[in-house]
Structure 1
């Protein structure tokens, strides 16, 4: 059983433990906001196309500030960068609260505020991940990644369930207010970190786009790492139907247009699977064939989304029965996704030097976060023409076919292996 359960050695480090513990609370609030924004947009417009449009407003700042944030994380004290960006996230959450409390009915004001929040979030993440090798020995990096992803997943369960249930009762503004309060523990945790200056930072000028390009050039020269991004983009763009959850919950499973239990269940199911996968992640550190493991995990993800699409198709007439079947497939997908992410993140952290680690984490963040936002746009548009069931299930089938094609075209990725950590 000890070999199956998560490796908790990183929690012996006081700085990692404080960050990890604070994130348990903060992620719940963040997920409540991520649920509230699309629900508010759908409530205001009645259109999944507008919900999908939030993907564009989130994607552009993620691309720009995710990459530039990686360059900043390689040139500045990462502790200071974390403090500034967390404060920025608090401010934008406060703006959500103010706009909604004042009775705003302007969709574009919500979208622009969401875009600003995503910019601060994007600049925060490369520094947050790249500090792990500065805080922990290399042998604990896979376990730290799994622990971090488990917290994110657990928050993704509680946040949507709480948010989905409370939106009809309290309204959107109080969910935004709760997010403000729940961000404060993480702000205190990053303030308590020691100085975390990256290697070679004193020799670098103020980071610009030349620094970003240098990181991209470094990545292009490492085919295995590059392919890890390609297969994840395939999985997310074609296989992430979250933009359709408000419409599916309303039309297929009987929720109101502004939220409800089915709405919360759909948003919580994938994080639930990820959390369960993280709890039982002890096996991850013992796997040597990381490339093959990633391919198999993404195939499992695609098949799970296909199963969810089938459940949505047959939901008419028996919504309660098919809701739980659909949620089961989403849970399976979440478990496959966290395993894939743990392998890909570990490959990236251990293969790169500290001088470029922030920039590569910026690329990683852009891919991991940008892919689902492209999916928001693609699925929102596709559902208008082919319906939610076919957009979801067909996307899952495309994931499987395209990932198998990648495995055939780049066999070196499938053969990639590492020695298991002994630390």
Structure 2
């Protein structure tokens, strides 16, 4: 990539890995190839080159994967803890509801911090804040465990406060961590790094919740939360291993002016904005998790075990897609890849709704809330459909993230990552509301069946009316 092209995309003209003391990576000129040097091989499994060419990225990735398992562990264990105190599902649901608005603010504010200050320092401070909030959850759980039998801590508001602070810290860290990638990796390896992120997330979403259930039963909730505090160390060490990452240009300090600049840039960034839009569409009309308890109780049957299996299916799809992502570096038409992946996502959501409809009319036989009364054909088909949603969503995520990181200038990456965090936080909440309302008014099968059709139609329209998004070329990235 020539210096002029580096300036256009906001990437440093020098080798970004040199700040870490890493030997210069093999860059492929943008005019010759838009992928890694070995992208021409018929690679199928995940490209591990980013882990080899950048020790800083390797440490950050490993640390995020390990500490992320702990974060998912705490997410599940907090729900168990609050239900243990209140015996109320509504009280459990408030964990996410209370944290939503602070997370939106944190995403925008954290993005500005990532643009204005050394990103390594922002990561250190936000991670320490998250660690302290986890330690406070450990203490609260220990107090409840010790005093619960004699009245003890019956109020749950301290847990809401601690989990909200934890969510805010995680949002800031997430926006900043991803914005770091183009500074420690050559640009041609960013898609592979995004795919590795999908593997990491799949591991977190599969291992974390399962580990929470096992540990909560085996050693109790206080020690379960303490495991998260210990696993956090791996993520923190990965952050400490980063080089200094100060702003490359003069940027506005955090405030309304910086936020206005970010949104002004986004108004001109048609392709990035289209990526955000298709993700909002997918999450708003294609969320299914809120339906799982009803599905396990009355539609497919099997009770809580079915809920766990359905939840894991999408995570497995995400993990397998990351594992088989070796060809992503050779893809140039990001807009087509994103649009196609989300259309497949919509189709899988529609299939899931169709399976629920067929189960509801008795095609797969009688079902009930016990595991002995599960409708096996329906469960298998539903799991396959959900695995498809995880796989297609991961393909979309790889190319949306790569577009955002390579087409946006460095001084805007933090703020755009902040907006991205708002999108990925707010979209699912809207989706939960959409699915919950329609399932209550009609039936559990209706929101995914209708949502799948809506997703396919709206994304097809976007691809039609936005030719620049459809024609996006990774060799010539343009926001």
Q: State the partner residue of 1:87.
A: 128
1:122 is aligned, of 152, 157, 171, to 171
- Larger Rg, first or second structure (1 or 2): 2
Pick from 289, 292, 296: which aligns with 1:242?
A: 289
1:197 counterpart residue number: 246
C-alpha distance after superposition, 1:189-246 (max 9, x if no partner): 212222111212xx44531122122111101111111111011000011112223334
* Structure 2: distance between partners of 1:179 and 1:27: 9
Q: Show the counterpart of 1:409.
A: 465
Match of 1:75 among 112, 116, 123: 116
Instruction: Select which of 178, 186, 190 maps to 1:141.
Output: 190
From the superposition, tell whether residues 324 and 344 of structure 1 become closer, same or farther in structure 2 (CA, over 3 Å): same
Q: How does 1:20-39 map to 2 (within 5 A)?
A: 20-38=61-79
Q: How many residue pairs end up in the alignment?
A: 415
Give the aligned partner of residue 138 of structure 2. Answer: 97
**2:445 alignment partner, SS class:** helix
- Deviation for aligned residue 1:181: 1.8
Check if 1:366 corresponds to 2:450.
no
> In structure 2, which of residues 55, 58, 61 is the aligned counterpart of residue 17 of structure 1?
58
Q: Separation in 2 of the partners of 1:413 and 1:271?
A: 28
Q: Which has the higher contact order (CA 8 A, sep 6+)?
A: 1
Q: In 1, are the aligned partners of 2:119 and 2:244 still within 8 Å (CA)? A: yes
Shift of 1:130: 1.1
In 2: Cα distance, 1:157 partner to 1:171 partner: 20
Counterpart residue number, 1:308: 352
Contact 1:90/1:180 (8 A) holds in 2: yes
Change beyond 3 A, Cα 1:230–1:343: same
Q: Write out aligned runs for 1:350-365 (5 A).
A: 350-365=406-421
Instruction: Structure 2: state its 5+ residue gaps.
Output: 1-40, 361-365, 368-372
- Which residue of the partner structure matches residue 306 of structure 2? 262
Query: Is 2:299 the partner of 1:299?
Result: no
Residues 357 and 145 (structure 1 numbering): CA distance in 2 closer, same or farther, change over 3 Å? same
Q: Following the alignment from structure 1 to structure 2, what is the Cα–Cα distance between the partners of residues 298 and 291?
A: 11
2:339 is the alignment partner of 1:284: no
Which deviates more, 304-313 or 121-130? 304-313
Shift of 1:299: 1.1
Correspondent of 2:269 among 222, 227, 233: 222
2:342–2:396 CA contact under 8 A, matched in 1: yes
Q: Is the 8 A contact 1:245 1:266 kept in 2?
A: yes
* 3-state SS in 2 of match to 1:196: coil
Aligned CA-pair RMSD: 2.7
Report if aligned partners of 1:297, 1:336 keep a CA contact under 8 Å in 2: yes
- 1:309-341 C-alpha deviation (Å, 9 max, x unpaired): 333441752525133321221111111011101
2:441, 2:410 → 1: CA distance? 47
Cα distance 1:410–1:208, how it changes in 2: closer, same or farther (>3 A)? Answer: same
Q: CA 1:210–1:146 in 2, change beyond 3 Å: closer, same or farther?
A: same
Match of 1:179 in 2: 228
Is the Cα contact below 8 Å between 1:241 and 1:376 reproduced in 2? yes
Distance, in Å, in 2 between the alignment partners of 1:397 and 1:158 is 32
Q: Does 1:211 align with 2:255?
A: no
SS at match of 2:248: coil
**1:74-97 Cα distance to aligned partner (Å, 9 max, x none):** 111111111111112222223333
In 2, the alpha carbon distance for the partners of 1:33 and 1:386 equals 34
Structure 1 residue runs of 4+, over 6 Å off?
none
Shift of 1:278: 0.6
Q: 2:189·2:329 contact (CA, 8 Å) conserved in 1?
A: no
TM-score (norm 2): 0.79
**Structure with the bigger percentage of helix:** 1
- Paired residue for 1:8, among 18, 25, 48? 48
In structure 2, relative to structure 1, the CA distance for the partners of 1:122 and 1:209 (3 Å cut) is farther
Which residue in 1 is equivalent to 2:38? none
